[in-house]
Structure 1
Amino acid sequence: MQALRTAATGMAAQQMNVEVISNNIANMNTVGFKKQRAEFQDLLYQTLEQAGAQSSDQGTIVPTGVQIGAGVKAGSVYRISTQGALTATGNQFDLAINGRGYFQVLTPTGDNAYTRAGNFAVNDQGQLVTQDGYLIQPAISIPQTATNVTVSQSGQVQVTQPGSPTPTVVGQLELASFMNEGGLSAQGSNLFKETGASGPPVIGTPGLQGLGTLTQGYTEASNVDPVTEITALIVAQRAYEMNSKVISTADNMLGVANQAKA
């Protein structure tokens, strides 16, 4: 019976939906995390009677036809890049992007990666790095003698040193933007890499070319809304249960057919 296979595809689809929702909920407190949504598509149809086919010698045609669907499949899991709330941290090396753009990160393999997580620190050489120790690009080095570090909204990094009342510029942060942010490939550890779908990065100064500005002493919180996720979880659970009920009903119908006597 086709209903068994159709309902099975529905259960598999809702299982994936729950997995996506659970990942969103698990990352509610992950800095810079962007929630995801699963989208689904219907499968091929079995055409028993083609719409528009001639139904008589007088030229009358079938108005609607008969098509039976075969279920559902995953179409995509897309990322929603809405702005997360800015959270004050008090750490002078923490930076939040208010608007569009990604920080550039140099990975140990020599490749560039991109992140919205601005919870930065300095390593033993005074270089600005991520929580995993990956260098921020362009490289920023903070002198050991610096008593204060200031990052402007446009990404200019200045330090104040003993005996000098005038701040010194030690670097300029830049942001990367993409034509299709949803096409970026998530690598874990809050990092993304470009793909053919995302397009190449466009590098620019914060506040220019449509890029967001930087806010020092803040990080961007996850954009996950717990109320929305719990509601979506309930809907997915009910859909799973309904597909399970279809399988039970189809099984009962098959049982009745098997017990029928000629």
Structure 2
Amino acid sequence: MKALYIASTGMSAQERNVEVISNNIANMRTAGFKRQRAEFEDLLYQQISRAGSQTSDQGTLVPAGLEIGSGVRTVATPRVMSQGSVNVTERELDVAIRGEGFFMIDLPDGRTAYTRDGSFERSPEGTLVNSSGYQMTGGITIPGDVTSVSISPSGLVEGFQGNDTTARTLGQIQLARFTNKSGLESMGDNMFLETGASGPAQVGLPNADSNGNLLQNYLEMANVNSVTEIADLIAAQRAYEMNARVISGADQMMQATSQLR
């Protein structure tokens, strides 16, 4: 009975939906995390009677066709790149982006990664690195004798050295934008990679070139809404249960048919 296979595709799709929702909930406190949503599409249809086909020599047409679907599948899990909440941390190397843009990170293999996680640290050499130890693009170095670091909304990094009464420029943070942010590839560690779907990175200064501005001593948190995720989880569970009931009903129908004498 075809209903068994159709319902099984529905159960598989809702199982994948629950996996996406559970990952969102697990990362509710992950800095810079962007939630995902599952998108579905129906499968091929069996055309038993095609709409618009001729039914007589007089030219009468079928007003509505007879089509039997094959089920559903998960087609994509795009990220929702909306702004997350910005929380104060009081750490001078924590930076949040308010608006468009990604921080750029140099990977050991020569590629550039992109992230909204602005929790930076100093390496033993004084360069700004992320939590994985990868250097921020631009090689911004903070000498060991710098007593205070200031990061402006436009990304200018300054610091006071020794007995200086005026700040010295230490570097400039740049941001990258993409035409299709949802096309970025997730690589874990709060970082994304450029793809053909995302388009090339458009590098510019914060607070200019349509980029957002920077907030020192703040971090952007995940854009996950717990109430929305729980509601979506309940809906996915109910859809899974309904598909399971279809399988149970189809099984009972087959059992009744097999018992006919």
CA-CA distance at 1:162 after TM superposition: 2.0
1:184 aligned onto 2:181? no
The answer for unaligned runs of 5 or more in structure 1 is none
State the TM-score, normalizing by the size of structure 1.
0.99
CA-CA distance at 1:161 after TM superposition: 1.5
**Structure 1 residue runs of 4+, over 4 Å off?**
none
Structure 2 counterpart of 1:60: 60
CA-CA distance at 1:116 after TM superposition: 0.3
What is the distance in 2 between the residues matched to 1:77 and 1:192? 15
What is the distance in 1 between the residues matched to 2:10 and 2:163? 70
1:108-163 Cα distance to aligned partner (Å, 9 max, x none): 11211010000111011111000111000111100111110000000000001122
The 3-state SS of whatever aligns with 2:247 is helix
Structure 2 counterpart of 1:152: 152
Q: 1:184-203 residue pairs with structure 2 within 5 A?
A: 184-203=184-203
Give aligned pairs, total: 261
Structure 1 counterpart of 2:260: 260
What is the distance in 2 between the residues matched to 1:65 and 1:94? 61
The 3-state SS of whatever aligns with 1:74 is strand
What is the distance in 1 between the residues matched to 2:4 and 2:68? 13
1:51 aligned onto 2:41? no
Structure 2 counterpart of 1:39: 39
What is the distance in 2 between the residues matched to 1:160 and 1:22? 45
Structure 2 counterpart of 1:78: 78
What is the distance in 2 between the residues matched to 1:195 and 1:162? 45
What is the distance in 1 between the residues matched to 2:12 and 2:152? 49
Structure 1 counterpart of 2:241: 241
State the TM-score, normalizing by the size of structure 2.
0.99
CA-CA distance at 1:82 after TM superposition: 0.4
CA-CA distance at 1:209 after TM superposition: 1.1
What is the distance in 2 between the residues matched to 1:25 and 1:164? 47
1:181-219 Cα distance to aligned partner (Å, 9 max, x none): 000000000010000000110100001111010000000
Structure 2 counterpart of 1:250: 250
Structure 2 counterpart of 1:136: 136
CA-CA distance at 1:237 after TM superposition: 0.1
What RMSD over aligned residues (CA atoms) do the two structures have, in Å?
Answer: 0.6
What is the distance in 1 between the residues matched to 2:138 and 2:97? 16
Q: 1:113-128 residue pairs with structure 2 within 5 A?
A: 113-128=113-128
1:54-91 Cα distance to aligned partner (Å, 9 max, x none): 11222111000100111001121110000001111111
Q: 1:149-228 residue pairs with structure 2 within 5 A?
A: 149-228=149-228
**Percent identity (aligned):** 51
What is the distance in 1 between the residues matched to 2:69 and 2:199? 36
Structure 2 counterpart of 1:20: 20
What is the distance in 2 between the residues matched to 1:137 and 1:29? 26
Structure 1 counterpart of 2:105: 105
The answer for unaligned runs of 5 or more in structure 2 is none
What is the distance in 2 between the residues matched to 1:188 and 1:216? 24
What is the distance in 2 between the residues matched to 1:84 and 1:182? 15
1:30 aligned onto 2:21? no
What is the distance in 1 between the residues matched to 2:6 and 2:63? 26
Structure 2 counterpart of 1:10: 10
The 3-state SS of whatever aligns with 2:3 is helix
